[in-house]
Structure 1
Amino acid sequence: MKNILRITFCALFGLLLLRPAEAQVTISVNFAPPALPVYEQPACPSEGYMWAPGYWAWDENVDDYYWVPGTWVMAPQRGLLWTPAWWGWDNGGYRFHDGYWANQVGFYGGIDYGYGYSGHGYSGGRWDRGRFLYNRAVTNVNTTEIRNVYEDRTVIVNRRENRVSYNGGEGGIRERATPVEERVMHERHVPPARMQIQNRTMARSNPEFRASTNQGRPMVAATARPGEFRGRAVVAAKAAGAPYHPPANRSEKGGMTRPENGANSAANQRRDQQQHAEQQQQRQEQQKLADQRTRQQQQKNGQLKSEQQQQQKIAEQQQRTREEQQQQKTAEQRNTAQRNQEQNRAAQQRNQEQQKAQQQQQQRREQQNLAQQRKNEQQQKSAQLKSQEQQQKVAQEQRNHEEQQQKMTEQRNQQQQRTAQERNQQQRAQQQRQEQQKVSEQRKSEQQQQVQQRAAQQHNQEQQQAAKREMNAERQQQAQQQAQQRRQQQAQQAEQRRSEQQKVARPKAQERPEPAQPQSHPKERPAQPQK
């Protein structure tokens, strides 16, 4: 019976958790949410945590958007992945689509949340044999504490400057769901975990997270754990994704009124009507599916109830038989208790008698022990006296023996000292002899060195004198050579002069007329003066 109740409770709990994504409260706002702020991802606190990016949510009580910080959160079950929340243009307003857990990542409007959520799917990690592996090329993971990591840089997408936080509408992202994302959207999902809901409610209750207060730049943009808005693990936004421009006027429910005119307003109305009709058809189909599921569930519940009733009857019968058996056991226990009481009383009497006898025996034994102790004490005293006398004798003998040994050792020490003194005297004599020999050898070596130095000095003096003689001879030879050269030069100069005189004298002699005088011998001609 208990097993059946557990199974039914688990089934109902699973149906509550795995509800369709459409079974949610619809939130629609007439003006777009602010841009995504610029912030850094905090480090993963521990193994098993998964990243859920931050997003803008709506507070209908204050008619304002508020920021839900990104955080690391544990998955409700192994193998589940997180699909982030997103805003999309639908039927003249921006509709909120809450995030959910599923076996695959669904469509989240093509919004680039970063850190693995680039618009489609999730590249920040994957499940492998019940463990979640982190892609350290995309996510902030401390590899010294978390070892189940890998690196895949092919999934890195160049982040665009556009940080729009909604799909469709004016200035929104123009992305559509893939077939796989469409299938995941219509499958059963697991809603956000309790800590994620707590993270959102805490942000909603704090006015600092509202867009009108922080102007699109929240002081707490991301945290290491849900709900921890203080401490070192808190990351503030570096800047707003875009300048924040709140609407000029709002309706009572927070929507912004927009004037419409001409053909554009009619076209917009037709388009809204078509979208509304399509949505109604989809809702009707979804309602039919839900009705069928509820009928099937009711049938299953009826079968379970009938089975439960049968099991209850069987359990009641079993309970009756157990009660009868319990009564029989209690009666038997009473009888056995009475018997045990009688046996205990008899045993107590026997024990008392035995205790008395034992006490008497103990007294006798104590008396015998006292007598024996006295005898033993007397024997011990006599033995101690004898042992003391023997010890005194032995001590006296030891003293005598020690005195003899001391005398012998003193004599030996004296002999050793004498021998040591004689040896020292002999060593000193030998040392003196060796020192005298060394001194004599040193003197001899010094004399030899002096003789050699004198011989070397004489040899050097003789060599110097010979060198001086050779120098003088060379100088004399050089002087003679110079004198000869001078003589030769003078002779050459005299010859040159004579030759010049002759050259000058010849043309003059030719020019002069010969006199009528008789010719004289050339040797007798007087010498002409030089010019």
Structure 2
Amino acid sequence: MQGLLKIRNIFLALLLCAVPAASFAQISIGIGFTIHTAPPVLPVYAQPPCPADGYLWTPGYWAWGPDGYYWVPGVWVRPPQIGLLWTPGYWGFVGGIYSWRPGYWGPHVGFYGGVNYGYGYGGVGFVGGMWQGGAFHYNTAVVNVNTTIVHNTYINRTVINNVTVNNINRTSFNGQGGLTAQPSVQEQAALREQHFQATSEQLSHQNTASQDRNQLASVNHGRPATMAMNSVNGRRYDQQGRIANGVASGQLTAGETRNLENREANLNKEVHNDRQANGGTLTPQERQQVNRQQNNLSRSINDDKHNAATANYGNNQVGARRDEQQQRVAQGIRSGQMTPSETARTENREANINHQVATDRQANGGKLTPQEHQQINREQNGASRQIYDEKHNEKTAPR
């Protein structure tokens, strides 16, 4: 018993040394726990569009509960007052123990362990926007904002390097074996400023995630069911992310992805036309209609991901090439480089190739002739060029 109390006291001392006094009340884990397992790497996800003027982005993070690590989705929230910015929490490894340093609101962004959460939080500071004249102005080169709804925007592309979630060091903790960042003079000064704890909405958001078993790392193996949301208790913005995960895992075939993305593209077109006809907004009836369609599409994604059809290409050269193409498509969906209509066209081409391979193998006892191998390779080369072109044109998924 005395040994357990000693460990607990050491852990509390580490937390007290690492966390500003004003933030101590926010600590929701750690007391009574000694965590020896590192948090999982940060998952790759697409940021949902800002729901309205005045909302600020708070990145997703791994929290700790009775059943281990669980993912709290990134979400747009309102700050407790004008002029405040969010400093994300982070995990620190000290004395053989992983401890959580909670986030807080303050006039400046402080130290968050050098963790690259993306979307403006590249490890140091925040470059996704700034307060000016009592209003928050969004840097649309970094954050996802629909400029027909939010007009306080600007573009600063000089800060793009390492500010998105894609292709980054996804390590989620600071300390031995993780990130080695140390607080700068400015970040140390930010620690001494007045801080405000997470809002009731943020606490409710974390509590909801803690009760969803699909968010547990032990269940999702680092791929949470919901990675990001547009607002607390709002619509879960994960349709494209769920499709991308299905493509990458093979749960969605090329034909299923084509059909889902065609429906998504038609819905995006409908929303665009409705907004254009109504001065950039949707009527209450249109919102209800869009929500019904999104619900139907969400059910279809779930059904297609859990039916018997899978993209299992086999352990062979042709199969490996097809799997590689699908991984590139999945990355294009996640990053927004490929719109639903572009994805639908690409997956239609892949579905045709898959059908041709199946037909040829059926006619030849399960194998392809050398001539058929050459023909499939030529077609895959063409599909590869199409994926590249669509990922590098100026079109991006609707934001």
Q: TM-score range by the shorter chain?
A: 0.5 to 0.7
Aligned residues of 2:76 and 2:229 also touching (Cα < 8 A):
yes
Aligned residues of 1:38 and 1:239 also touching (Cα < 8 A):
no
Structure 2 match to 1:68: 72
- CA deviations 1:480-506 (Å, max 9, x no partner) are xxxxxxxxxxxxxxxxxxxxxxxxxxx
State which drifts further: 196-205 or 185-194. Answer: 185-194
Within a 5 Å distance, the mapping from 1:45-444 to structure 2 comes to 45-59=51-65, 61-62=66-67, 64-158=68-162, 160-170=167-177, 172-228=178-234, 230=236, 235-236=241-242, 238=244
Q: In structure 2, do the counterparts of structure 1 residues 161 and 146 end up closer, same or farther at CA, with 3 Å as the change threshold? A: closer
Structure with the larger RCO, 1 or 2 (CA within 8 Å, 6+ apart): 2
Aligned residues of 2:228 and 2:236 also touching (Cα < 8 A):
no
In structure 2, C-alpha distance between the alignment counterparts of 1:35 and 1:46, rounded to whole Å:
30
Q: In structure 2, do the counterparts of structure 1 residues 198 and 92 end up closer, same or farther at CA, with 3 Å as the change threshold? A: same
Q: Per the alignment, in what secondary structure is the counterpart of residue 188 of structure 1?
A: coil
Q: Whose Rg is larger?
A: 1
Identity of aligned residues (%): 45
Structure 1 match to 2:338: none
Q: In structure 2, do the counterparts of structure 1 residues 232 and 96 end up closer, same or farther at CA, with 3 Å as the change threshold? A: closer
Alpha-carbon shift at residue 188 of structure 1 (Å):
2.7
Structure 2 match to 1:404: none
Alpha-carbon shift at residue 139 of structure 1 (Å):
0.5
Aligned length: 221
In structure 2, C-alpha distance between the alignment counterparts of 1:78 and 1:47, rounded to whole Å:
12
Q: Counterpart of 2:181 in structure 1: which amino acid?
A: E
Aligned residues of 2:228 and 2:237 also touching (Cα < 8 A):
no
Alpha-carbon shift at residue 150 of structure 1 (Å):
0.3
Alpha-carbon shift at residue 23 of structure 1 (Å):
4.7
Structure 2 match to 1:335: none
Structure 2 length-normalised TM: 0.52
Alpha-carbon shift at residue 151 of structure 1 (Å):
0.3
Q: Per the alignment, in what secondary structure is the counterpart of residue 173 of structure 1?
A: coil
In structure 1, C-alpha distance between the alignment counterparts of 2:222 and 2:156, rounded to whole Å:
32
RMSD: 2.4
In structure 2, C-alpha distance between the alignment counterparts of 1:191 and 1:73, rounded to whole Å:
13
Aligned residues of 2:127 and 2:139 also touching (Cα < 8 A):
yes
Q: Counterpart of 1:20 in structure 2: which amino acid?
A: A
- CA deviations 1:179-238 (Å, max 9, x no partner) are 111122233310001111111000001111000000000110000001336477785495
In structure 2, C-alpha distance between the alignment counterparts of 1:72 and 1:233, rounded to whole Å:
17
In structure 1, C-alpha distance between the alignment counterparts of 2:242 and 2:187, rounded to whole Å:
32
Structure 2 match to 1:464: none
In structure 2, C-alpha distance between the alignment counterparts of 1:234 and 1:56, rounded to whole Å:
22
Aligned residues of 1:67 and 1:218 also touching (Cα < 8 A):
yes
In structure 1, C-alpha distance between the alignment counterparts of 2:95 and 2:233, rounded to whole Å:
34
In structure 2, C-alpha distance between the alignment counterparts of 1:55 and 1:42, rounded to whole Å:
16
* Structure 1: tracts of 5 or more residues without a match: 1-17, 241-531
Q: Counterpart of 1:96 in structure 2: which amino acid?
A: W
Q: Per the alignment, in what secondary structure is the counterpart of residue 95 of structure 1?
A: strand
Aligned residues of 1:71 and 1:226 also touching (Cα < 8 A):
yes
In structure 2, C-alpha distance between the alignment counterparts of 1:201 and 1:169, rounded to whole Å:
30
Structure 1 match to 2:320: none
Q: In structure 2, do the counterparts of structure 1 residues 198 and 23 end up closer, same or farther at CA, with 3 Å as the change threshold? A: closer
Aligned residues of 2:229 and 2:237 also touching (Cα < 8 A):
no
Aligned residues of 2:228 and 2:238 also touching (Cα < 8 A):
no
Structure 1 length-normalised TM: 0.40
Higher normalized helix content (fraction of residues): 1
